[in-house]
Amino acid sequence: MADLISIRDLDKPTIEKLLSVSEKMEKNLFTSYDKFPGKVAATLFFEPSTRTHLSFQTAAQRLGMSVVPYYHAASSSTKGESLSDTLKIVDGYADLLVIRHPAEGSARYAAEVCRHPVINAGDGGNQHPTQTLIDLYTIQKAKGKIKGLNVSLIGDLSHARAMRSLLYGLAMFGAKVKLIAPRGLEMDSQIVEEVKEKFDAQVEASEQLDLAGADVAYVCRIQKERFSDPYQAAKMQASFRIMPELLLDAKQDMILLHPLPKIDEIPAEVDASPHAHYFQQASHGVPVRMAVLEHALKEG
Amino acid sequence: MPLLVERIEQGTVIDRIEAFAGIHVLEILKLVPSNQAARQSEASGNEKSSRSPASPAKPDLAHRVALVINVPSRHMGRKDILKIEGREIKPVEANKIALIAPRARLNVIRAGKVVQKVDVKLPSKLEDIAACPNPSCISRLEREASVFSAEKGRLRCAYCERLFSTYELVV
């Protein structure tokens, strides 16, 4: 399949292959691949992004591709051009499209409209499949396996698309997942039921922030922009911070991940902790997205 | 005193509709002006997109229709019956009503006689049945039709991937 729209579209062997190619890409990251000279990747970001946008651009360039970036604020979309028209135009310029858009299902729609492969870089609160691949790659690399690991997903599990995608990926690979969220910000019960049914996954939920027993603690920020009451958001964030003293209860080899940006849910002093793995995780964005781009162009 | 409804010479009788679901069957088959379409049209006035959200095709209002509600039934206890004069509902079209009337039976009438009986069956893929209830779904904002796949009695939007009960979609 050339398009990458949702983690639901990927089976385990395909993910394993992508992770294996990611490893090869990482080993030779600073050599020139020049695999796809003359190919053009368009990166259409209708929402702000730092890591995803830059790592896709870097990945494309390391594969020898050129990049045409699209910046929403400076585009004709601000004049009222439909998404469909914008996509058709860009599809005529590029060999592959990477899209982030606030509407859920926008990447699937883009794949219908475009002749060239489309990669989802985040569609509203729905999916972020390449982030999940990065997360699985990071866990596998740090722990040597995913199956049987105790993974805690912590924070605003209601709004974070990265967490929705990741729960599916972890369940597919047989991790034991603990969902730790403040009341009202729990993971959508539909997806919990789905992974339990589909993968016979072990998933438990808790409101108590506790790292004991976890092999991996994956934290995401409270999405303050989704709250109508900023005070309520700040209060929830204050009760869900990974303070250094909390790490004292953690297993020695527990790794702490975060899709970034981290705001104040992980204070800066934790960055120096041996548990902190989120900057390595972010650096994996390039090799994993190189693997994704190569897969899309080879299949497409 | 029995309730009498005129026989039809040609058309369709849909029997075994869940009691009180018949009114929604009329909407699904577009035999009446759709309330949902009106609600969607009203809602789209508040959206930024210049496009209308997924909406059913124009209703077919050319036929005489009789809906009998809450009729005693040996098998179902109570049921609704729908008679449509002059229009043969195709089984593919009728399958959409399995969303809310999973036991419904389609009887095609020609020259006053039943020539075909078909039990409805929920198709695996449903197009243009109703707008996706998720206001953030691209199918409401840009695309002009919706697509759902059936998953164990519920429906998953092909775009936003959310699951909905059949009643959330139709009623």
Please check whether residue B107 lies inside any domain of the structure.
yes
What is the per-residue pLDDT for B54? 40
Q: What is the domain-level CATH number for residue B18?
A: 3.30.70.140
What is the residue range of B78's domain?
11-122
Please check whether residue B165 lies inside any domain of the structure.
no
- In the predicted model, is pLDDT for residue A69 greater than 80? yes
Please check whether residue B168 lies inside any domain of the structure.
no
What is the per-residue pLDDT for A239? 81
Please check whether residue B117 lies inside any domain of the structure.
yes
**Is the reported ipTM for this assembly greater than 0.95?**
no
> Strand order in B147-151's β-sheet?
B125-127, B147-151, B154-157, B163-165
Contact A41, A96 (CB under 8 A): yes
Residue A120 to chain B, least CA–CA distance (Å): 12
Domains, in order of start, for chain A: 7-127+285-299 (3.40.50.1370), 129-282 (3.40.50.1370)
B136–A125 C-beta distance less than 8 A = yes
Mean pLDDT is lowest, of A84-88, A135-139, A283-287, B40-44, for: B40-44
Residue of chain A whose Cα is closest to the Cα of B159: A105
Please check whether residue B142 lies inside any domain of the structure.
no
Please check whether residue B158 lies inside any domain of the structure.
no
Q: Is A164 a catalytic residue?
A: no
Please check whether residue B131 lies inside any domain of the structure.
no
Please check whether residue B82 lies inside any domain of the structure.
yes
- In the predicted model, is pLDDT for residue A2 greater than 50? yes
List the pLDDT tens digit at each of the 171 positions of chain B.
667 788 899 999 999 999 999 998 998 888 888 655 555 445 444 443 333 334 445 777 888 999 999 999 998 999 999 999 999 988 777 888 888 888 999 999 999 999 999 999 888 888 877 889 999 999 999 877 789 998 887 899 999 999 998 878 876
Q: Is A86 a catalytic residue?
A: no
pLDDT band at A291 (very low <50, low <70, confident <90, very high): very high
C-alpha A78 chain-centroid distance: 27
pLDDT: is A294 or B167 the higher one? A294
Give the contacts of A256 (CB within 8 A, at least 6 positions apart).
A217, A219, A242, A247, A266, A270, A273, A275, A276, A277, A278
A106–B138 C-beta distance less than 8 A = yes
Count: domains in chain B: 1
pTM as predicted: 0.85
